[in-house]
Chain A
Amino acid sequence: MTLPEAAPPAVRLRHVTKSFGGAKALDNGDFDVRRGEVHCLAGEKGCGKSTFIKIITGVYVPDAGTEIELFGQPVKNISPAQARALGVAVIWQDLALFARMSVAENITFDEIVGPFPRRVNRTAMRSHAATVLARLGVDIDLSASLGTLPIAERQIVAIARALMGQTRLIFMDEPTASLTQSETDALLTIVRKLSDDGVAVVFVSHRLAEVLDVAERVTVLRDGKLVGVWPTQGMTQSRLGELMTGIAIEHSILKPAADDANVVLSIQNLGRDGEFDGISFDIRAGEVLGMIGLIGAGRTEIAHALIGMNKPDRGEMILTGAAHTPRSIRQAIAAGIAYVSEDRLQLGLDRKQSIEDNISVAVLPGLESPPGLLSSGLKSKLVMDWIKSLGIRLGQPADAVSTLSGGNQQRVVLAKWLATKPRLLILDSPTVGVDVGARAGIFRIVRDLTEKGLAILLISDEASEVYFNADRILHLAGGRILDTLVPSDITLEALEARFMRDFVRSHAIELRLAAVLSLICFILSFASPQFATAGNFSSLLNNNAVDMIWAVGLLVVLIAGGIDISFAVASSVVHYIAAKLFGVMGGGNWLMGIVVCGSLGIGLGLINAWLIRGFKIISIVVTIATFNAFFGFLMFFSGGKFIYDLPSWWTARVFLFEHQNADGSWVELNLSVAAMVVCLILTWILLRHTSIGRQLHAFGANPEGARRAGVNVALMQGVAYGWMGLMAGTAGLMQINVVREVVPNALAGGELEVLAAVVLGGARLGGGKGTVTGSVLGVLFVAITQNGLNLLGVSPFASKMVIGAAILIAISTSNIGLTSPSRKRAAK
């Protein structure tokens, strides 16, 4: 201890324990960080490092018995926002930034967070962000959208965000995982600078060179247990590697396979523009060929070419003597290639489905008996065989895969692919998220397989994994093979050192989708001469004011990641109740009307929010249920009867503007248009210029990131559905002014077309994206198409058909939905 006793450590943890289900992710660990220290938390993937951070920052609640002190202050059940207030900040591995917001907004996001609406001051925001970036000595365009930045700059944005306010402790979770060497150097310089300023930095990494370079002390974790704390002085890479893996010394290097063995796969000069080039290698039967490289070095891209996901531009692949030109994964499987993908959670397994279904998914044709029907007998025989031969520990084959531990999940993936009887097995980072014991098991299986003559391509970004398990190693960087190495000719440290020099291209080519559909329809509509008259425009506005009001309400819900089907019926309910109320009381005025309808609408909206939040039911189910409930009760109590007897203030024709043309026709704008304009402006202000609106965007786009940043989830849902309710109430109020009667079932049925219009206007189902302007254009697109067709003398029935077709065409020619897997790949 070099610091005086007066300053308690930044972090003091005793007996930290955390279990998920039955598994202990962290077991009784102690941990200290001094003030202003750079402290490294080292350990292999899946050892509990992230769990540690999440406990300290309040994302996870630790098990009983855990003691946490931050800056000498004992804390219990801390929330992410409270941790932030104490000066603790985290830079998550996934950065938890918001891709569609600007750099300045991302950096100052904590200023936006909070339950009370405030005006978003963009000037102040920019100057604060600029100050922080200046402190870091970097220059990034503040108004750029975060999604357009390369990874390294996003990393710096995340650091800048962490430094806002009185930050005294920063956690960095694998900050260098996707940085180039020079970018890493720049980052480490920043880390030292922070430490000099008195900010403690906890640096999480499994890259040993960095750990020893930057940290003063290192805490090693293995399998959720604390191995110990050491000063970095006097520590070597190999010693640290042993401490982290615990099994390094038990490893032995494989002997290279005999040269004359059968070549299974031969690749000559393979290249694909922008990904890799000049790749040539052979894999022989019974050989494990290692391929090491960072993300973006071309390793996964080469694998994708082998399995027919991407077509190479140059070169040839020869599989057991025949040209291999797969056009789909199916053809690659049929040719005898199995690919265990790097992202096991997302791509390798369908975690929601059962173990047996996952094992049999790739060999379904062989399980049919009689032809056309799957045989459960054949299926369970296949499944039981593989469970036995790979030693998968499970409860029932019909249990979901997600109930298994990481190692057993990995075995299920192996079983699935081995069942296809491959000649070449590609293992892409097979041990990510697998604990050390299970790793050894997996590699034992791999060795057994090679003895049976299987060729294996082992892709990894962990040098030790390839070093101890491959016969030969290809070192990949920048899409090219740098070296071919044999483990017995080189030490692990030498391999690590080569690997650390790698250059990584960051390909942040984000496809920017400009969906300016509405503009096109504007141009089209000008083709009709009667169209561009004041009279036509005014009636267009009068007739669509209610739809517009609904549209912006729905927009707010969509931005927050929800959906609402019940709003049109909610309007019906509101205007019916209000009409009855004023009928009984008599009198009333506009102010009372607004108050009554607004609060009724908000009430109905909050019912939706309460059901969604309180009972964890998804919004489409809730709102379909409330749609039925609201509508059923309304029709039951009203008996479907119209109300004509309405207060005069309500039905009075008030014109904002009227003018009689020479031909006697009128140009007029009624009151509902004014209400519409007010609603549009208020929604625009809410979404663009208040802290609440920006939090809604962040919450919709990245709920987990927003939650970690301290956004109040219940509040967000309340605001979204409450606003929708307010708009629905206003729409109901104005509907009476327009039609001068209450027809209980008149509004129901309008909801789906409004939804189509808003989504067409660029709002994303799934949250985070959408603008008031877009929604207005979407509603106008539908309204104007209909209007234009009417003017052209097309029957109203036919015009509906044309609108449907127009929406279909608009969808097909734009990239509104990004759900297709191939498109997701392209975007990546």
Chain B
Amino acid sequence: MNFLVNLNKRFGLGTLPLTAFLVLTVLLFAALTPRFFSEANFQSMAFQMPVLGILTLATLGPILSGGINLSIIYTANFSGLTLAWVLLNNGGPDAGSGSMIVGCLLALIVGAIAGGVTGLVIAKVGAHPILVTLAMMIFLRGLGEFLTRGGDISGFPAAISYLGQGNLLWVPVPMWLFAACALLWHLLLSRTRHGFAVYMVGSNIRAAEYSGLHTKRTLVLIYLFSGLLCAVAGILMAARFNSVRVGHGEAILLVTVLACFLGGVDPFGGAGRVLPVVLALVILQVLSPGMNLLGANQHLATAVWGLFLIGVMMLRWAAAKLEIQFNRRKLT
């Protein structure tokens, strides 16, 4: 019991109920369809989840700081585009590993710049993050579509697809990348001064400023890191589909926000952990192909995601109500 309490404390409230729910869903689908516990199903999930997962991490940081980043998809697309540009200018399918490395680095830099500029505007001007990131989203989409004329860019060297489609020690490479990102993000948020400042800024920015924290630097950095994660996701998307299209993955934006809320992140900022969010992601991922296997389509899964979020919020509301009643009874 003590172990469970500790687990909850270390990784955030909601870890336990989410885990329980995950086990339940898995068992349910396993009972309903034999194809659920197949290697093919797990492989397909393991390839699908990392992009969504890394983008969710990119959404998580800004929400913790009391804001939001709506430009993640186009930041990812634009970073992918940078990679594609370097590869195509160095021989396309024949591009060497040197240009691949340069391309990935440039993509990361572009993502960081996009995030950093967003953060600067938010910190210095004090405009609402929804508005700033929305404008950034529209800007990046326009710029990307202008450069690509709205079409697909493809023709990358075969080696790059290893990043998106290869296996390393029986586990897909994207999954390793996602795990690394999640771990780093967890460490950054829970074990560093910057992470500490993110939570403080998220729940009370003025108190944080009075305590001598670098509130502006914190805001710039959190959006910069968010942009960096987007770039990783953009590189993965390019590698997985062997093509880049601006607008690819547009529908993921709201799903990432949904995953964060499902993982118990406070919509107003200041509270939320990485692990429950990852668990929420796994649940969404299991729900969607699980229902596909049962014959339902992707759209029904979208609807179920929405209902699922409402359900979780209702449960939290009921739990809070019960707790109040329980406390009252304890008093009298």
Contact = CB atoms under 8 A, between A and B. Distances in A.
Interface of A: 19, 21-22, 328-330, 332-333, 339, 341, 346-353, 357, 361-362, 364-365, 368, 372-374, 398, 416, 565, 611, 615-618, 620-622, 624-636, 640, 749, 752-753, 755-756, 759-760, 765, 795, 797-805, 807-808, 811-812, 815-824
A625 B138 contact: no
Given A353-B204, A626-B306, 10 more contacts: A346-B206, A364-B196, A373-B187, A615-B314, A625-B258, A625-B313, A628-B306, A633-B303, A804-B137, A821-B215
A800 to B, nearest CB: 3
A798 B301 CA distance: 35
Contacts of A364: 193, 196
A348 B207 contact: yes
B254 interface: yes
B270 interface: yes
B307 A22 contact: no
Contacts of A368: 193
B209 interface: yes
Contact of A752 (B123, B134, B301): B134
A818 B145 contact: no
Nearest to A308: B212
B267 interface: yes
A278 B187 CA distance: 50
Identify the 10 closest CB pairs spanning chains A and B, nearest first. A820-B126, A632-B303, A804-B139, A801-B142, A800-B142, A628-B306, A629-B306, A632-B302, A804-B138, A635-B299
Nearest to A798: B146
A328 B208 CA distance: 13
A357 B135 contact: no
B309 A760 contact: no
B313 A341 contact: no
Contacts of A629: 303, 306-307, 310
12 contacts: A346-B206, A615-B317, A625-B309, A627-B306, A631-B302, A635-B299, A765-B131, A797-B142, A811-B131, A811-B135, A812-B125, A824-B206
Given A361-B211, A800-B141, A823-B126, A353 B206 contact: no
A818 B139 contact: no
Given A361-B200, A416-B211, A797 B149 contact: yes
Contacts of A636: 296-297, 299-300, 303
Given A756-B138, A797-B145, A797-B146, A348 B303 contact: no
A799 B271 contact: no
A348 B207 CA distance: 6
Contacts of A756: 131, 134-135, 138
The A interface, classified by DSSP as helix, strand, loop or mixed, is helix
B125 A797 contact: no
Contacts of B35: none
B142 A803 contact: yes
A626 B309 CA distance: 9
A803 B309 contact: no
B254 A624 contact: yes
Nearest to B255: A628
Contacts of A630: 303, 306
A615 B319 CA distance: 11
B141 A621 contact: no
A621 B203 contact: no
Given A19-B331, A797-B149, A797-B150, A347 B139 contact: no
Contacts of B123: 820
A632 B134 contact: no
Contact of A333 (B138, B143, B192, B212): B212
A564 to B, nearest CB: 13
B130 A765 contact: yes
Interface in B185-232: 187, 191-193, 196, 199-200, 203-215
Contacts of A365: 193
B87 to A, nearest CB: 22
The B interface, classified by DSSP as helix, strand, loop or mixed, is helix
Given A21-B327, A632-B304, A801-B142, A811 B127 contact: yes
A618 B267 CA distance: 8
Contacts of B302: 628, 631-632, 635
A404 B130 CA distance: 34
Given A361-B213, A625-B309, A627-B254, A353 B134 contact: no
A632 B304 CA distance: 8
Interface string B231-270: 0000000000000000000100011011001000001101
A795 B142 CA distance: 10
B132 interface: yes
A807 B135 contact: yes
A53 B101 CA distance: 69
Nearest to A338: B212
Contacts of B204: 346, 349-353
B258 A347 contact: no
A330 B214 contact: yes
Contacts of A351: 203-204
A648 B167 CA distance: 58
Contacts of A824: 206
B121 interface: yes
A627 B184 CA distance: 32
Contact of B193 (A350, A374, A621, A802): A374
B107 interface: no
Contact of A820 (B125, B199, B250, B307): B125
B178 interface: no
B134 A755 contact: yes
B305 A632 contact: yes
Q: Which of A21, A617, A618, A753 has the most CB of B within 10 A?
A: A617
Given A373-B187, A624-B254, A632-B300, A818 B307 contact: no
B70 interface: yes
Nearest to B139: A804
A826 to B, nearest CB: 10
B208 to A, nearest CB: 7
A628 B258 contact: yes
Nearest to A813: B125
Contacts of A416: 211
Interface in B105-154: 121, 123-128, 130-132, 134-143, 145-146, 149-150
B200 A353 contact: yes
Contacts of B134: 752-753, 755-756, 807
Given A617-B313, A636-B299, A803-B138, A362 B267 contact: no
Contact of A352 (B127, B203, B213, B303): B203
A624 B146 contact: no
A484 B159 CA distance: 80
A628 B196 contact: no
Contacts of B143: 801, 804
Given A329-B209, A816-B128, A820-B126, A373 B191 contact: yes
A347 B206 contact: yes
Contact of A808 (B121, B296, B314): B121
Interface in B253-293: 254-255, 257-258, 261, 267-268, 270-271
B267 A816 contact: no
Contact of B210 (A339, A565, A759): A339
B142 A799 contact: yes
A44 to B, nearest CB: 25
Contacts of B331: 19, 22
Nearest to B317: A615
B131 A611 contact: no
Given A374-B191, A636-B297, A753-B138, A329 B212 contact: yes
Contacts of B196: 357, 361, 364, 374
A611 B208 CA distance: 33
B203 A353 contact: yes
A347 B124 CA distance: 20
A611 B305 CA distance: 16
Contacts of B141: 800-801, 804
A632 B299 contact: yes
Nearest to B67: A819
